């Protein structure tokens, strides 16, 4: 990996991480705090974008994958927070919410990635 790629990943992450924090603050202020809507939303949005990037990979400039895919999407989305919130729901014995969060996150993430891939195919 060359220095430019590392820089692109860092720049993407420098934008994605604060945006994830901002999204968390905005969503928590507006929606029910029992369900982790902020993490759910950024993970689905990141899956959509990453699916589109993969679907368009052959048509994109070489640095865009590391910048947006690894850097931006990697910092915006968060598997660790998803895992933490899932365990926290289970510890609070909010089992229906935990199951809905788990199933909804996985299914929505896969569907969003597939939709992004399909949209990229339609556009290109």
Q: Is 77 flagged in the annotation as binding? A: yes
pTM over 0.85: yes
Q: Is 104 flagged in the annotation as binding? A: no
Domain residue ranges in the chain: 3-123
Give the containing element (helix H, strand E) for 104: helix 95-123
Given a cut of 90, whether residue 113 has pLDDT beyond it is yes
| Mean pLDDT for the stretch of residues 104-112 | 98
Which residue, among 116, 97, 93, has the nearest Cα to 45 in the 3D structure? Answer: 116
Which two three-digit tokens encode residue 124? 């290109």
Residues 81-98 have pLDDT tens digits of: 999 999 999 999 999 999
Cβ neighbours for 45, distance < 8 A, ≥ 6 positions apart: 76, 112
């Amino acid at each position: 990996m060359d220095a430019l790629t590392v820089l692109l990943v860092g720049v993407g992450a420098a934008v994605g991480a604060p945006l994830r924090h901002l999204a968390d603050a905005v969503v928590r202020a507006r929606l029910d705090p029992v369900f982790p809507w902020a993490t759910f939303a950024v993970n689905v949005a990141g899956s959509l974008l990453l699916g589109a990037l993969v679907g368009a990979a052959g048509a994109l400039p070489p640095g865009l994958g590391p910048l947006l895919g690894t850097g931006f999407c990697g910092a915006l989305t968060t598997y660790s927070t998803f895992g933490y919130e899932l365990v926290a729901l289970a510890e609070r014995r909010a089992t229906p919410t935990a199951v809905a969060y788990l199933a909804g996150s996985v299914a929505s993430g896969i569907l969003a990635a597939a939709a992004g891939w399909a949209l990229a195919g339609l556009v290109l």
